[in-house]
Amino acid sequence: MGPLPASVDFRKLAERRASLNGSVPIESFSRLRSLLLSYSGDINIELSFEPGKGSTPRVTGQCRGRVVMECQNCLEAVEVAVEVDIDSVIVVSVEQLLALEQEDDGIVCKGAMLPLVDIIEDDLLVSLPMVPRHDGRCGETYSSPNDETPDTYRPFAGLERLKKDSDRSE
């Protein structure tokens, strides 16, 4: 898959029932980038444009990729696979967006060109795990059962002994 253009004329693509297959660099997704440790790599995209109801074009397809996030257990890098299905209606005003049927997702594009990032970034963000973690255990952050160190640190254990001693003396 080769690189895709940053923006497309969605009306022409819908009239021709055209498809796009290619990739977009992860660094192109400004909101997604803020959640990642690394911006290297691409998101692979397969999109089909077609005329929708009335004069509203519809875009369907899939996008997949792998992103690097921070594991919330060990704070090291963890690679997360993302895969989302796209099914959106492209409208030219907020009024048209509000008039869409309940089950339709919409994208507002007031100009002739629609950035590809705008079509898929929201869906990518929603597909990310809220708490990214490695599968299984992370590195050396967990103590093994044979560890010599106690499982918990009890800062007030000394007070408990003092209380017991004072209860005995009474």
Handedness of CA 83, 88, 90, 95 (dihedral sign): negative
Residues listed for the chain = 170
66-80 residue pLDDT tens = 999 999 888 889 999
Name 19's Cβ contacts closer than 8 Å, sequence gap at least 6: 46, 47, 48, 49, 61
For residue 108, the SS3 value is strand
Q: Residue 33 carries which DSSP code?
A: H
Q: How many domains does the chain have?
A: 1
| CA-based radius of gyration for the chain | 26
In a domain, 163, yes or no: no
126 domain residue, yes or no? yes
Residue with tokens 């999109």: 47
Whether 162 is in a domain gets the answer: no
Q: Domain of 42? A: 7-140
- How far is the first Cα of the chain from the last one, in angstroms, to the nearest whole number? 82
In a domain, 23, yes or no: yes
Q: What is the pLDDT of residues 101-145, one digit of tens each?
A: 888 888 888 888 888 888 889 999 999 999 999 887 775 544 445
Any domain includes 168: no
139: tokens are 């590195």
Flag whether 14 is in a domain: yes
**pTM of this prediction?**
0.71
The reply to whether 77 falls in a domain is: yes
